[in-house]
Structure 1
Amino acid sequence: MSNNQEDRHAMSSGTASLTKSPRLRRIQWIAVSFLTAAGIINYVDRSALSIANTAIRDEMHLSPAEMGWLLSAFSLAYAFSQLPVGALLDRFGSRLMLGAGMFFWSLAQLVSGFVASFQQFVLARAVLGLGEAPQFPAGAKTVSEWFSLRERGTPTGIFVASSCIGPCIAPPVLTAMMLLLGWRWMFVVTGLIGIVVAVGWYLVYRNRAEVALTREETAHLDEGAAPEPPARRMTFAEWRGLFAHATTWGMILGFMGVIYMVWLYLTWLPSYLEHERGLSVARTGWVVAIPYIFGTLGMLCAGQVADRLLARGAGIVASRKWPVCVGLLGGGLFTVPAAYTPSVTLAVVYICVAMFFINMASGAAWMMVSVAVPKRQVASLGSIQNFGGYFAGSFAPVITGYIVQGTGSYVNALLAAAAVAVLAAFAYIVLVRRPLEGGDTLVLTERPA
């Protein structure tokens, strides 16, 4: 039997007999709903500074380079906190780690409305980054615990789509709030909303280990996955061993290209439209939302494409790998004409297409995390990938700030992001070929992608 036939057989055999209980459906619905809501708040909070970029620069007398460092304070703290956060998630679970993280990031968001100096603002943004660190590794871990292997693509696409839904609704909502209440109260109100959701998550959600599952529910969740040894806590030696695999490094380098471009658009797109394209603050608030609608579609398409490729016989790695690579190449290639076109309308169109592709890559990259390693290592691998992405992404606001300050234009900044994305795609193609040892494969011998 061929590898493709084995994949299809493993997916189809016994599926009809493993029905999903109403309780399991309810748990899955609660988990995905809270993860999506938390992700939207996560991105609304991190978007607030870029929405208020011009107002804050004027009030606090900041140069473009200083604003670049302020924008990067979040991403640097977020990146370096990923490494311990992943191990802590695999040790203590998503309920505690995401609940505590959401509470403290929301508190930092609230405090940002009362800062009186550049240094205080940098500190508040750094704490925001520390608090937001568990969000997406916790989501990947939650999906791996509460969804069977064949189901994980769609729920991952849904909760990761929050990274586009948040920036989509943030510009019009936060701009209206800023014009009505001022930028300081904008931070306070969004922080209070996050605290409420953090408390709700901790009270309602339960880790899989905290729920007494029936034999049928356990069989449904473990359907199609390779057998795992009895659950035990992640050790430092196992965590360190993740770095010994080429697949891990391919995932890191690929996500660097994703987040560099995502972070460039998230932090500088409003300012780009105001200063490079001449739009008013009010109009910018609506136009900025349009690319994120396309980004959301890209995220949702990633889940559907991955699940359909898998159902049609693609290997578990290939079904995730090729959406990542196509997304990176498409994001880079469509950013180039956006930099050069003299038309505002065409620039927005090209950016929309670029955002569709780059967010498709982002969604598929998180889907890779949930199948590349055993469930007890998912958060660790996800945090390692996220560290690489946001370490590279941290330089996007700074580099862009210096380019704009030195040239008075965003053209070279956009071209740099396009080059990073294309190079990242080639790294992913070469290095990501098979799951790590012990990963959730549908067959014991996964063919190279």
Structure 2
Amino acid sequence: MSTTLAPNDVPWRDDAAVIGLVGLAHASSHFSHLLLPLMFPVFIQTFGLSYAELGLLMSVFFVVSGMGQATAGFVVDRFGARPVLFAAMTAFVLACLLAAMANSYAALMAVAVLLGLGNSTFHPADFTILNQKVSSLRLGYAFSAHALTGNLGWAVAPVFLVGLSSLFDWRVAYVGAACLFAGILLLLVWRRDTLLTHAVVHASDVPRAHSLAFLKNSVVWWCFGFFMLTAMTLVIVQSFSVSILQAMHGVSFEAATMTLTAYMLCAAAGVVVGGFLAARIPRHSERVVAVCMSVAALFMALCGSGWLNATATMVVLALTGLAIGIGGPSRDMMIKNATPKGATGRVYGMVYSGIDVGSAISPLFFGVFMDRGWYGATLIGAASVLLLSVWVALSVGRRTVHA
């Protein structure tokens, strides 16, 4: 194989080891997103909390994660991704143990802070490892696997936590989650050589002002905006789709929940397809993203229009996940193309913090729609936000070309 086709001449087995370990870590990050929400009914019964208080827990999680993610990028670039990843897994273990012993709202708030801190590190650490360790022609597949494992982490969490809670109780479920995170941490430590990256910024030879120079690059902020907008749409689906389906079409809770599960599984399947697209047309990733998000916006608007019956709405909503999933790996490739050399951790940290910002804003804004019974308008609003992200993605492509 020529150096043009494989500049690093890295064996597939070595790339697969990196992709697998990083993917497992990323799955644990998405698993952590649901550690608190899945137990909300239990917290209401046990601690007498209101939904507003429970919602504040998630707001704290996303705020801490967003602020920490932007900072974590600098830490990754300066000290390498591996120690940051180990620290994140340790934070998850401690958060689960604290949750298992929690006897107050304050303790749950501390759990939210720890989970947010742990979650904040994964995107800058993961993508630094993938970009440094995986050969260039396999990066599209690496990004696909990364997104796929994240979706699988979401899918596993309900089965794991609810299953243990049913067999024992909720505190045992959190102990089980702590053991799961500890096992993953031990595996990562055992294979630590596979995750070794080189620090690219050092305090002794790079002025602080220069380390912040990437913030002057407008494309970074356009990428931030893209992630913020797409996250707003995802949170609407995750938070409100079950209630919307029940209110608009009178479907059962089980059927509505299965639709959300189908959405996530379709998104995972889409990621697999999207990985091949990202690997074959990496230079036009923003166009792939734009097409996928446009299709998803159309599907979501159809669901909110009321023109479809219950079955058709559930099917089309699930297919929305497929369209978004296909665009996932190209989205990550789009960010790579826009990233200045030597600033991977910082850029990914800043850009992916847009997810946390969008996730914190969206429930507050569209929650007003839901309270007023504007269920269809909530989905149409989500479609409008997603359509706006198409324009942002194309703007990223134009600015990357002329950078």
**TM-score after normalising by structure 2:** 0.87
**In the TM superposition, what is the alpha-carbon distance from 1:85 to its structure 2 partner?**
0.2
**In the TM superposition, what is the alpha-carbon distance from 1:329 to its structure 2 partner?**
2.4
**In the TM superposition, what is the alpha-carbon distance from 1:367 to its structure 2 partner?**
2.0
Amino acid of the structure 2 residue aligned with 1:298: G
Amino acid of the structure 2 residue aligned with 1:111: L
User: 1:34-433 counterparts in 2 under 5 A?
Assistant: 34-206=21-193, 232-233=201-202, 235-269=207-241, 279-280=252-253, 286-310=258-282, 316=283, 319-341=284-306, 343-374=309-340, 376-404=342-370, 406-407=371-372, 410-433=375-398
Q: Percent identity?
A: 20
1:23-54 Cα shifts (integer Å, max 9, x gaps): xx443222211111112222122123333333
Distance in structure 1 (CA, Å) of the matches to 2:60 and 2:313? 29
Distance in structure 2 (CA, Å) of the matches to 1:237 and 1:71? 34
Distance 1:425 1:210, change over 3 A: closer
Amino acid of the structure 1 residue aligned with 2:295: G
**In the TM superposition, what is the alpha-carbon distance from 1:381 to its structure 2 partner?**
0.6
Distance in structure 2 (CA, Å) of the matches to 1:267 and 1:113? 25
Distance in structure 2 (CA, Å) of the matches to 1:430 and 1:19? 31
Amino acid of the structure 1 residue aligned with 2:289: V
Gaps of 5+ in 2: none
**In the TM superposition, what is the alpha-carbon distance from 1:274 to its structure 2 partner?**
7.1
**In the TM superposition, what is the alpha-carbon distance from 1:278 to its structure 2 partner?**
5.3
* Richer in helix (by share): 2
Instruction: Report the aligned-residue RMSD.
Output: 3.0
Distance in structure 1 (CA, Å) of the matches to 2:296 and 2:6? 42
Q: 2:229·2:388 contact (CA, 8 Å) conserved in 1?
A: yes
Q: 1:325·1:428 contact (CA, 8 Å) conserved in 2?
A: yes
Distance in structure 2 (CA, Å) of the matches to 1:287 and 1:37? 26
Distance in structure 1 (CA, Å) of the matches to 2:264 and 2:347? 27
Q: Which residue of 1 aligns with 2:9?
A: 20
Gaps of 5+ in 1: 1-11, 212-229, 311-315, 436-446
1:185-227 Cα shifts (integer Å, max 9, x gaps): 323311220122123213312377679xxxxxxxxxxxxxxxx
**In the TM superposition, what is the alpha-carbon distance from 1:139 to its structure 2 partner?**
1.4
Distance in structure 2 (CA, Å) of the matches to 1:120 and 1:432? 45
Distance 1:333 1:49, change over 3 A: farther
Distance in structure 1 (CA, Å) of the matches to 2:124 and 2:62? 16
Secondary structure, aligned partner of 2:154: helix
Amino acid of the structure 1 residue aligned with 2:191: V
Q: 1:255·1:362 contact (CA, 8 Å) conserved in 2?
A: no
**In the TM superposition, what is the alpha-carbon distance from 1:305 to its structure 2 partner?**
1.0
Distance in structure 2 (CA, Å) of the matches to 1:285 and 1:48? 18
1:308-349 Cα shifts (integer Å, max 9, x gaps): 224xxxxx2xx2211222233233322223334474433332
Q: 1:110·1:188 contact (CA, 8 Å) conserved in 2?
A: yes
Distance in structure 2 (CA, Å) of the matches to 1:345 and 1:174? 29
Amino acid of the structure 2 residue aligned with 1:33: G
Distance in structure 1 (CA, Å) of the matches to 2:102 and 2:380? 35
**In the TM superposition, what is the alpha-carbon distance from 1:251 to its structure 2 partner?**
0.6
Distance 1:171 1:374, change over 3 A: same
Q: 1:65·1:398 contact (CA, 8 Å) conserved in 2?
A: no
**In the TM superposition, what is the alpha-carbon distance from 1:144 to its structure 2 partner?**
0.9
Secondary structure, aligned partner of 1:20: coil
Distance in structure 1 (CA, Å) of the matches to 2:87 and 2:32? 16
User: Which shows bigger deviation, 425-434 or 252-261?
Assistant: 425-434
Amino acid of the structure 2 residue aligned with 1:379: G
Q: 2:235·2:363 contact (CA, 8 Å) conserved in 1?
A: yes
**In the TM superposition, what is the alpha-carbon distance from 1:293 to its structure 2 partner?**
1.0
**In the TM superposition, what is the alpha-carbon distance from 1:111 to its structure 2 partner?**
1.9
Distance in structure 2 (CA, Å) of the matches to 1:286 and 1:303? 26
Report the count of equivalent residues.
Answer: 398
Distance 1:123 1:201, change over 3 A: same
Q: 1:54·1:271 contact (CA, 8 Å) conserved in 2?
A: no
Distance in structure 2 (CA, Å) of the matches to 1:52 and 1:138? 29
Q: 2:17·2:194 contact (CA, 8 Å) conserved in 1?
A: no
Q: 1:366·1:382 contact (CA, 8 Å) conserved in 2?
A: no
